[in-house]
């Protein structure tokens, strides 16, 4: 892994992942000991798409490390509205900050932007591409609840446009994990992602129904249908609401099944699941701070 940029989950080895997760566990256990690790450092936030959890947790992480943030703000209030290119935007913000976090609607934008800056750049989501820091907090949550080996994971929902799915599936190939992918035929994994998984030695098991494999699962990772990425509304309406989880759905699940979701949810998981022992999605969101603290700590200190 190049520690100056974090762009896709393809960069990550098992050693990389465990290094970050171990550091996150240290942060989680004693956050105060990291409180002045990066005093005086600034993190530049360049978000070209809406964000709640990712943006706020990066900001919280940097401030809890003793640093601060400078925020490009909304696209409508920035020079992007005047026609400024992404390359120029990141080169300008690089002059104000010690590291950058970029979210952009176009796949590959983070990789392109990284070629124009010398400070660490973190991909916080590039269209339907990858979201590697979400994957890190997902893996941390899985490790805390189910371990990362001898594991059976079901990933369900929008597998075509869901960048969190692409990153997580790729990263799980570093572990002894059997993966099952549940989606409508129209939202199956993209061919490029299936190819990467095959190249990594993974078996891609695809399903259109959850029930037949639910009893086998240790983890069920649910995603929303990515309405904003559909080329037309009619295509979205044909699959909207097709996969929904409630307590009846989970009747045949293992007692210790871990249910996860990157959030925001729409109607994929009924609120009644929130109070069950299966629900881990709010814990998952909370884990964004210690995990991103660990990532920033490593990137800013140039740890190899």
Instruction: Report the catalytic residues.
Output: 53-54, 82, 103, 131
User: For 238, phi and psi rounded to 5 degrees?
Assistant: -70, -25
Structure tokens at 194: 């299936």
How is residue 233 written in tokens? 């509304």
Please state the separation of Cα 140 from the chain's center in Å: 11
- Indicate the SS3 state at residue 243: coil
A 10 A CB-CB count for 109 gives: 21
Phi/psi of residue 157, each to 5°? 125, -130
Q: What is the total residue count of the chain? A: 304
Structure-token match 């409630």, residue found: 246
Instruction: Kindly give, in sequence order, each residue whose CB lies less than 8 Å from that of residue 47, ignoring residues fewer than 6 positions away.
Output: 55, 71, 72, 101, 102, 103, 124
Q: Are 221 and 155 in contact, with CB atoms under 8 Å apart?
A: yes
Cα–Cα distance for residue pair 76/73, rounded to 1 Å: 8
Residue 34 in tokens: 């990291």
225, 194, 261: which is closest to 53 by C-alpha? 261
**CB of 113 closer than 8 Å to CB of 86:** yes
């Amino acid at each position: 892994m190049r520690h100056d940029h974090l762009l896709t989950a393809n960069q990550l080895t098992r050693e990389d992942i465990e290094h970050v997760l171990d550091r996150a566990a240290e942060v989680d256990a004693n956050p105060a000991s990291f409180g002045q690790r990066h005093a005086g450092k600034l993190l530049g936030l360049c978000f070209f798409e809406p964000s709640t959890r990712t943006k706020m947790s990066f900001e919280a992480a940097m401030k809890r490390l003793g640093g601060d943030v400078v925020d490009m703000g909304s696209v409508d209030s920035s020079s992007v509205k005047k026609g400024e290119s992404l390359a120029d935007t990141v080169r300008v913000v690089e002059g104000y900050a010690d590291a950058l976090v970029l979210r952009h609607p176009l796949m590959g934008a983070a990789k392109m932007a990284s070629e124009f800056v010398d400070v660490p750049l973190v991909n916080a989501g590039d269209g339907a591409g990858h979201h590697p820091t979400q994957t890190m907090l997902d893996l941390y949550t899985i490790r805390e609840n189910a371990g990362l080996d001898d594991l059976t994971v079901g990933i369900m929902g929008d597998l075509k446009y869901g960048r969190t799915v692409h990153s997580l599936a790729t990263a799980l190939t570093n572990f002894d994990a059997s993966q099952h992918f549940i989606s409508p035929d129209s939202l199956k994994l993209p061919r490029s992602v299936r190819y990467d998984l095959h190249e990594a030695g993974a078996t891609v098991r695809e399903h259109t129904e959850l029930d037949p494999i639910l009893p086998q699962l240790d983890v069920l990772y649910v995603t929303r249908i990515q309405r904003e990425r559909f080329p037309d509304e009619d295509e979205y309406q044909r699959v909207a609401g097709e996969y929904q989880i409630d307590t009846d759905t989970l009747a045949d699940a293992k007692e210790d099944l871990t249910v996860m979701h990157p959030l925001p949810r729409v109607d994929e998981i009924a609120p009644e699941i929130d109070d069950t022992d299966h629900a881990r999605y709010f814990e998952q969101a909370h884990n964004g701070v210690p995990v991103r603290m660990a990532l920033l700590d490593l990137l800013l200190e140039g740890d190899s």
